[in-house]
Each structure stands twice: as C-alpha cells, then as structure tokens.
Structure 1
C-alpha cells in the first residue's frame, strides 16, 4: 500500500469486520459488563449497517451498555488510544475516540447512546441503529435532510390564534 491510503473493502468484508467486532464485545460483555448497573439484559450485541465508506468500514455497534458508530482506527488516525479525531461524513463532521478492543486492535468510536435503558428490546435497538447509519450517510444539505430539520408545524403566534388560522377547517 502506498501513501498510507486505506485499502477499499467489499461490503461483505465490512459486514465480516463488524461481526468480528461484535464477537469481541460479546466476550467483553460476558467477562466484564454483565453485572454492572449499566447493562440492559433485554439487549444483545449486534453489528448493524456495516458498509464501505471512503475506502474503509463504518457501522453501528449495539451492545447492552452502549450504541456507537465505529470504524477501524487505522483508517482515520495514527494517534494513541484516548485521542480524538474528526471524520467527515455526508451528514457532517463527527468526533471519534480512539480505543483498543480485544483482538480487533484500535478502533474509532462515537457514542450514540449509553447506557441503553431507553431501548426496550433488540428490535428497537436495531431500528434505532439502522436509522442512525442512514442519517450519518445523508448529506447535510440534501433536500431530505433540510426537510427533516424543518419544524413539523408552524409556531403558534397570538395573531394567528385569534384569527382562527390554527384551527382545522372541515368541509
């Protein structure tokens, strides 16, 4: 490899990397996390939405104690564990923390949820993770992103209220 550029991987390779990382987190969960008060017994460990992105891998890791965006650290930084690095995604810049995870080595992660008690089951956790990866890959200036940021209703002001402009008209 020349110039330090990451080697592109197939989506299947990205999913496989996510599955390996999930295996490491299962071991961590069984060994060190299960008895902690932040562990949500209703959840398991799952790699969600792992894919190629700019010549590397990115996806969402769901565990009973956190949900993070993760990617191999080698693709984004040559810094030590604990350091932070900004990565540009279509949705904008995201700050990642570099850490070591079992046999996987150094990874970059960005916390989405921790602890995970607001998610009742794996179906909810998976749906949340899938929605998060979609949002991450949605360009910030796209029509869809702009539409999502617009308020669903117009703000209530006194003039419109008194004119009856805020009431639903039925015919």
Structure 2
C-alpha cells in the first residue's frame, strides 16, 4: 500500500469561474428555493411547515473592512435584501427554508470568494473567527454557484418564521463581532482554533 494520502475515488471537477453578482442575490435565491420546495421538498417528513422560503440580510463585505450594513436593515419596507450594498466585496446573507437555515456566500468581486469543487469545505476568516463553508454548484439553477455555512438542518426548533428570521439575523450579526480581546481586523491571520470560533458563533446566535 502506498504511504501517500489516499485520494477519493471520485471528485467533482472544478466548476467554471463564477460570475460576479452585481445585484443583491436575495430575490434569485428566494426564487430558486421556492422552486425546490414545491418541486422536491414539500412532502419530505423532516420539513418544518411553520417556515417558508426567505433570503434576507444580504450585504457586500470585504475582509479587513467593517460590515457595510446592519443585517436587520435588509428587511427595509418588508422587502428582504432591500438594503443598498457597498460598492465592493462578496455577498453574505442568510436563507431560510422549511428544511434548513444557512448563511450563504456568493461572489461579488471581493477577496473572500474562491472557486471550489462541489462539496469542498473551507475555513473562511470573519471577525468572530474562522467559519467552515461548503461549496455547491448546479449549472442549471437560478444561482449556479455558492458556498454555505450550515446553521440549522432541519430547523425543527422554530415555531414561526419570525423566530427563524431572528436567528438568521443574529447569526449574521455575530459573524461581524470579534471575540473579546481579538484583533478587530479580519484581514489579520487568525490565531483562534476553528472549533472555538464555531462554538462562540452558535453561543451568540442562541443568546440573540
């Protein structure tokens, strides 16, 4: 047996370079997951029918800069994702569905995004510390390429859309708040262990 690392029998090919998304992606994500809900997910036994599909809190963010908008401002006038974006940076926001609540990263021209194979995991640095994201790619979908950080799957603990929305916005806010004593620049190399950052992240969500 070779002493080298064993390679998986199958790996997805690296997808084409993702197109930069210039406009707030929340409407496209909402359309995509509503379609998935009606086509394939609505009869699944683990879904939470108290929840509906909603993309919210999307803003552009660049490592090393402060968050450009308050995530809650993305609910202006009752329209998810209505806040005006900053001129540069990749898109960060949340998506609620009856079967998951996740934070999403989409390419907006910033330095946080990098093209990755479907299913590939990576740790990305935020003010709270490194958080793990998973790449996905479907060239036939309304949003072909994105990365996501799982929050709740399935989101069975939520009794209403209001509660799910509050948890999603709390997660977004927590990402941009450094831990006590940590440097405020997200561009600085992290000395924090990924696991500790993730635990702190979920503690802040639960306290939100």
| Greater Rg over alpha carbons, structure | 1
Moved over 6 A (4+): none
Q: Deviations over 1:26-54 (max 9, x none)?
A: 10111111000121111001112111111
Contact 1:77–1:85 (8 Å) recurs in 2: no
Distance 1:89 1:26 in 2: 29
Give, in angstroms, the shift of residue 23 of structure 1. 1.1
Structure with the higher fraction of residues in helix conformation: 1
TM-score (norm 2): 0.60
Q: Deviations over 1:107-128 (max 9, x none)?
A: 0001000101100010100111
TM-score (norm 1): 0.72
2:70 matched to which residue of 1?
Answer: none
1:88 matched to which residue of 2?
Answer: 125
Cα 1:116–1:85 change in 2 (3 A) is same
Distance 1:8 1:138 in 2: 25
Say yes or no: does 1:109 pair with 2:109: no
Contact 2:31–2:142 (8 Å) recurs in 1: no
Distance 2:90 2:44 in 1: 33
Q: Pairwise CA RMSD of aligned residues?
A: 2.6
Cα 1:142–1:59 change in 2 (3 A) is farther
Contact 1:73–1:98 (8 Å) recurs in 2: no
Give, in angstroms, the shift of residue 71 of structure 1. 1.1
2:185 matched to which residue of 1?
Answer: none
Say yes or no: does 1:23 pair with 2:60: no
Gaps of 5+ in 2: 1-16, 63-88, 183-199
Distance 2:127 2:164 in 1: 23
2:160 matched to which residue of 1?
Answer: 121
